[in-house]
Amino acid sequence: MADERVEVVLRVNGRDHRLEVSPRWTLSDVLRHQVGLTGTHVGCEQGVCGACTVLLDGEPVRSCLIFGVQAEGHNVTTVEGITPESGLSPLQEAFRKHHALQCGYCTPGMLLTAQALLDREPNPSEETIREALTGNLCRCTGYQFIVDAVMAARGQGRGA
Amino acid sequence: MAEVLRPQMMGARVSRVEDPRLLSGQARFLDDIQVPGMLEVAFVRSPHAAAKIVAIDADAARRLPGVYAVITHQECPIVLWNQESYKVGQPALADGDVAYVGQPVVAVIAENRYIAEDAAELVRVEYQTLTPVWDMRDAIHEKPRRVHEQAENVFFQKSRQTPGFDEAFAAAPHHLKASFRTNRQTAVTMEPRGTAAMLDAASGRLTVYASTQSPHRMREDICTLLDIPEHLVRVIVPEVGGGFGMKATCYPEDVVVAHAAVKYRKPVKWISDRLESLESDVHARDDIHDVEVAFDDDGKIIAIKDHLMADGGAYPAYPWSGAEGETGLAARVLTGPYDIPYLATEIDCTYSNKTPLGAYRGVWGPIASFIQEGLVDRVARHLKLDPADVRRRNMIRKEQFPYRNAARMIYDEGSYLESMEEALKLIGYEDFRHRQAQLRQQGRYVGVGISVFVEPTAMASSEAGEVGYESCTIRIEPSGRVTAALGLGPSGQGHETTMAQILSDQLGVPLEDIVVLHGDTDSAPYGGGTGGSRSGPIGGGAALVAGRQMREKLIKYAAHLLEASEDDIELGDGKAWVTGVPDRSLTIRTIAQTAYLDVSKIPEGMPIGLEVTGRYLPKRPVTFSNGTHIAEVEVDVHTGVVKVTRYAVANDCGRVINPTIVEGQIHGGVAQGIGAAVLEALRYDEDGQLVTTSLLDYLLPESTDVPRIQVQHIETPSDGEGGIKGMAEGSLIAAPAAVACAISDALAPFGGMVDTLPVTPEMVLKMVQNS
Amino acid sequence: MKPAAFQYFRASTTDEALDRLAQHPGSKVLAGGQSLVPLMNFRLSRPDVLIDINGVADLGRLAIEDGELRIGALVRHRQLAESGDVAGAVPVLPLAAKHIGHWAIRNRGTIGGSVAHADPASELPAALVALQGTVVLRSARGERRVAAEEFFQGFFNTDLGEGELIVEVRIPISKSRFGFNEVVRRPGDFALVGAYVERSGPGGSVTWFGLGGRPERLLVDAWPQDAAGRGTLLEELVEGLPLDVSEDYKRAMAVTVAERAYQQAEGEK
In this structure, are residues B529 and B465 in contact, taking their beta carbons and an 8 Å threshold?
Answer: yes
Q: Do C104 and A113 touch (CB under 8 A)?
A: yes
User: Would the pLDDT of A154 be above 50?
Assistant: yes
Rounded Cα distance between B598 and B589, Å, is: 12
A1 band by pLDDT with thresholds 50, 70 and 90: low
Rounded Cα distance between B360 and B194, Å, is: 18
Q: Which among A43, A50, A4, A13 has a CA at the least distance from the CA of A31?
A: A13
Q: Kindly report, residue by residue over B16-28, the tens digit of the pLDDT.
A: 999 999 999 999 9
* DSSP-assigned beta bridge partners for residue B470: B616
Query: Does B761 contact C at CB distance below 8 Å?
Result: yes
Rounded Cα distance between B168 and B175, Å, is: 12
Taking 3-state DSSP, the helix, strand and coil percentages for chain C, each rounded to the nearest 5, stand at: 35, 30, 35
Q: Kindly report, residue by residue over B79-115, the tens digit of the pLDDT.
A: 999 999 999 999 999 999 999 999 999 999 999 999 9
User: Would the pLDDT of B2 be above 70?
Assistant: no
| Residues of A with Cβ-Cβ distance to B31 under 8 angstroms | 32, 38, 42
Residue type, B393: R
Nearest to B23 among A33, A95, A129 (CB): A95
Task: Give the ranges where B349-445 is alpha helix by DSSP (H).
Answer: 365-383, 387-394, 416-427, 429-441
Residue B597: Cβ within 10 Å count: 10
- What is the pLDDT averaged over residues B147-158? 97
- What is the pLDDT averaged over residues B409-415? 97
Apex B76 CA angle, B74 and B78, nearest 5: 110
Task: Please tell me the predicted confidence (pLDDT) of residue C188.
Answer: 83
- What residue of B is the nearest CA neighbor of C1? B273
CA distance B64 to chain A (A): 10
Residue B307: Cβ within 10 Å count: 17
Residue B431: Cβ within 10 Å count: 9
User: Would the pLDDT of B5 be above 60?
Assistant: no
Task: Please tell me the predicted confidence (pLDDT) of residue C266.
Answer: 86
Question: How many interchain CB pairs under 8 A, A with B?
Answer: 172
Rounded Cα distance between B186 and B282, Å, is: 7
Q: Which of B490-504, B523-537, B698-712 has the lowest mean pLDDT?
A: B523-537
Q: Which among B155, B128, B131 has a CA at the least distance from the CA of B143?
A: B131
Beta strands in B680-749 (DSSP E): 709-714
Q: Which three-class secondary structure state does DSSP give residue B693?
A: coil
Rounded Cα distance between B594 and B649, Å, is: 50
Rounded Cα distance between C40 and C113, Å, is: 14
Chains contacting A with at least 3 CB pairs below 8 Å? B, C
Beta strands in B538-622 (DSSP E): 569-572, 575-578, 581-587, 611-616
B413 band by pLDDT with thresholds 50, 70 and 90: very high
Mutating which of B278, B639, B678 best tests the C interface, going by the most C Cβ atoms within 10 A? B639
Rounded Cα distance between A112 and A101, Å, is: 14
DSSP collapsed to 3 states, B135-176: CHHHHHCCCCCCCECCECCEEEEEEEECCCHHHHHHHCCEEE
In this structure, are residues B629 and B735 in contact, taking their beta carbons and an 8 Å threshold?
Answer: yes
In this structure, are residues B672 and B500 in contact, taking their beta carbons and an 8 Å threshold?
Answer: no
Residues above pLDDT 70, as percent of chain C:
99
- What residue of C is the nearest CA neighbor of B702? C186
Nearest to C8 among A23, A62, A73 (CB): A23
User: Would the pLDDT of C11 be above 90?
Assistant: yes
Same fold, B19-27+469-616 and B412-457+621-771: yes
Q: Kindly report, residue by residue over C37-76, the tens digit of the pLDDT.
A: 999 999 999 999 999 999 999 999 999 999 999 999 999 9
Q: Where are the domains of chain B?
A: 19-27+469-616, 412-457+621-771
| Residues of C with Cβ-Cβ distance to A113 under 8 angstroms | 103-104
* N- to C-terminal Cα separation, chain C: 48
Handedness of CA B566, B568, B572, B575 (dihedral sign): negative
Q: Do B761 and C42 touch (CB under 8 A)?
A: no
In this structure, are residues B313 and B351 in contact, taking their beta carbons and an 8 Å threshold?
Answer: yes
Task: Please tell me the predicted confidence (pLDDT) of residue C267.
Answer: 80
B643-647 long-range CB contacts below 8 Å, 24 or more apart?
B644/B674, B644/B678, B644/B705, B644/B706, B644/B707, B644/B739, B644/B742, B645/B446, B645/B707, B646/B427, B646/B707, B646/B708, B647/B707, B647/B708, B647/B709, B647/B710, B647/B738
Q: Which of B458-472, B489-503, B617-631, C193-207 has the lowest mean pLDDT?
A: B458-472
- What residue of C is the nearest CA neighbor of B764? C249
CATH class of residue range B19-27+469-616: alpha beta
Residues above pLDDT 90, as percent of chain B:
96
Sheet-wide strand order for C68-72: C62-65, C68-72, C165-172, C134-139, C142-147
Whether omega before B192 lies within 30 degrees of 0, making that bond cis, reads no
Rounded Cα distance between A100 and A94, Å, is: 8
Q: Kindly report, residue by residue over A101-145, the tens digit of the pLDDT.
A: 999 999 999 999 999 999 999 999 999 999 999 999 999 999 999
In order of B402, B460, B761, C23, the CA distances from B635 in angstroms are 40, 42, 9, 55
- Mode of pairing for the β-strands spanning C28-30 and C49-52: parallel
CATH number of B412-457+621-771: 3.30.365.10
Task: Please tell me the predicted confidence (pLDDT) of residue B465.
Answer: 65
Taking the CA atoms of residue A75, residue A78, residue A80 and residue A85 in that order, the dihedral angle to the nearest 10 degrees is 40
Burial tier of B96 (Cβ tally within 10 Å: 0-12, 13-18, 19+): exposed
CA-based radius of gyration for chain A: 16
Task: Please tell me the predicted confidence (pLDDT) of residue B1.
Answer: 41
User: Would the pLDDT of C96 be above 50?
Assistant: yes
Chains contacting B with at least 3 CB pairs below 8 Å? A, C
Q: Kindly report, residue by residue over B648-691, the tens digit of the pLDDT.
A: 999 999 999 999 999 999 999 999 999 999 999 999 999 999 99
Task: Please tell me the predicted confidence (pLDDT) of residue C243.
Answer: 75
Q: Kindly report, residue by residue over C115-125, the tens digit of the pLDDT.
A: 999 999 999 99
Q: Which three-class secondary structure state does DSSP give residue B715?
A: coil
Tell me what the pLDDT averaged over chain A comes to.
Answer: 96
Rounded Cα distance between B332 and B457, Å, is: 14
In order of B28, B118, C197, the CA distances from B34 in angstroms are 10, 21, 55
Task: Please tell me the predicted confidence (pLDDT) of residue B536.
Answer: 93
A158 band by pLDDT with thresholds 50, 70 and 90: confident
Task: Please tell me the predicted confidence (pLDDT) of residue A2.
Answer: 67
In this structure, are residues A45 and B190 in contact, taking their beta carbons and an 8 Å threshold?
Answer: no
In order of A97, B574, B587, B613, the CA distances from B510 in angstroms are 19, 6, 12, 21
Nearest to A99 among B16, B66, B702 (CB): B16
Rounded Cα distance between C167 and C9, Å, is: 18
Mutating which of B361, B495, B661, B703 best tests the A interface, going by the most A Cβ atoms within 10 A? B703
C269 band by pLDDT with thresholds 50, 70 and 90: very low
- What is the pLDDT averaged over residues B539-557? 97
What DSSP state is assigned to residue B465? Answer: B
Task: Please tell me the predicted confidence (pLDDT) of residue B3.
Answer: 46
B423 band by pLDDT with thresholds 50, 70 and 90: very high
Q: Kindly report, residue by residue over C124-152, the tens digit of the pLDDT.
A: 999 999 999 999 999 999 999 999 999 99
Q: Which three-class secondary structure state does DSSP give residue B303?
A: strand
- Residue B330: partners with Cβ closer than 8 Å, 6 or more residues away: B287, B289, B308, B364, B365, B367, B368, B371
Rounded Cα distance between B203 and B223, Å, is: 17
Residue B62 region, left (φ>0) first, then alpha (ψ -120 to 50), else beta? alpha
Q: Kindly report, residue by residue over B349-406, the tens digit of the pLDDT.
A: 999 999 999 999 999 999 999 999 999 999 999 999 999 999 999 999 999 999 999 9
Rounded Cα distance between C258 and C194, Å, is: 8
Q: Which domains does chain A have, with CATH numbers?
A: 6-82 (3.10.20.30), 90-152 (1.10.150.120)
In this structure, are residues B452 and B420 in contact, taking their beta carbons and an 8 Å threshold?
Answer: yes
The DSSP-derived string for B661-674 is HHHHHHHHHHHHHH
CA distance C119 to chain A (A): 16
Rounded Cα distance between B124 and B102, Å, is: 16
Q: Do C41 and A45 touch (CB under 8 A)?
A: yes
Task: Please tell me the predicted confidence (pLDDT) of residue A85.
Answer: 94
* DSSP-assigned beta bridge partners for residue A56: A59, A76
Q: What is the ipTM of this complex?
A: 0.98
Task: Give the ranges where B451-534 is alpha helix by DSSP (H).
Answer: 495-507
Handedness of CA B200, B206, B211, B215 (dihedral sign): negative
Taking the CA atoms of residue B642, residue B643, residue B648 and residue B654 in that order, the dihedral angle to the nearest 10 degrees is 70
In order of B216, B220, B225, B265, B522, the CA distances from B205 in angstroms are 16, 15, 16, 11, 12
Rounded Cα distance between C99 and C94, Å, is: 9
- Mode of pairing for the β-strands spanning B97-98 and B51-57: antiparallel
Mutating which of A32, A61, A72 best tests the C interface, going by the most C Cβ atoms within 10 A? A61
Task: Please tell me the predicted confidence (pLDDT) of residue C133.
Answer: 98
What DSSP state is assigned to residue B511? Answer: G
- Mode of pairing for the β-strands spanning B709-714 and B642-652: parallel
Task: Please tell me the predicted confidence (pLDDT) of residue A3.
Answer: 81
Task: Please tell me the predicted confidence (pLDDT) of residue B392.
Answer: 98
Q: Do C48 and A45 touch (CB under 8 A)?
A: no
Rounded Cα distance between C198 and C177, Å, is: 6
Rounded Cα distance between B170 and B166, Å, is: 6
Q: Do C108 and A70 touch (CB under 8 A)?
A: no
Q: Which domains does chain C have, with CATH numbers?
A: 7-52 (3.30.43.10), 57-172 (3.30.465.10), 177-267 (3.30.390.50)
